[in-house]
Amino acid sequence: MSNLKRNFGQKAAFASSVFCVVLALPVFGIFLWLWNEKGINDTWTPSALTTVFFLFFCAVVLYVVSRPRPPLPPQDAATMETTAGPGVDG
């Protein structure tokens, strides 16, 4: 296991990702029920399927946002001077 930790925002994004997946499952069941009862031509059926796709893609985006990032390497003074651009002194 890696020793990378999630900060509060990343934990909230991960919890929201899990919540989106949990919400998508019953909506998928509603889609299947609507498809069976009313057919694909009813306006509610494609709307339910669109809602399922929306929730799953939200879950994917939130999961990517929630992944912990490794810390940046420290910059030494020489690197900072060469990448900072022209100095104020002229």
pLDDT score, position 5:
85
Give the chain's residues under pLDDT 50.
Answer: none
CB 24 within 8 A of CB 59: yes
Tell me if 3 is assigned to some domain.
no
Q: What is the gyration radius of the CA atoms in the chain, in angstroms?
A: 23
The whole model's pTM is what?
Answer: 0.72
Tell me if 12 is assigned to some domain.
yes
Tell me if 16 is assigned to some domain.
yes
Q: For the chain, what is the domain count?
A: 1
Tell me if 31 is assigned to some domain.
yes
The whole domain housing 59 covers 8-68
Alpha helices in 39-71 (DSSP H): 44-66
Tell me if 73 is assigned to some domain.
no
pLDDT score, position 73:
78
Tell me if 28 is assigned to some domain.
yes
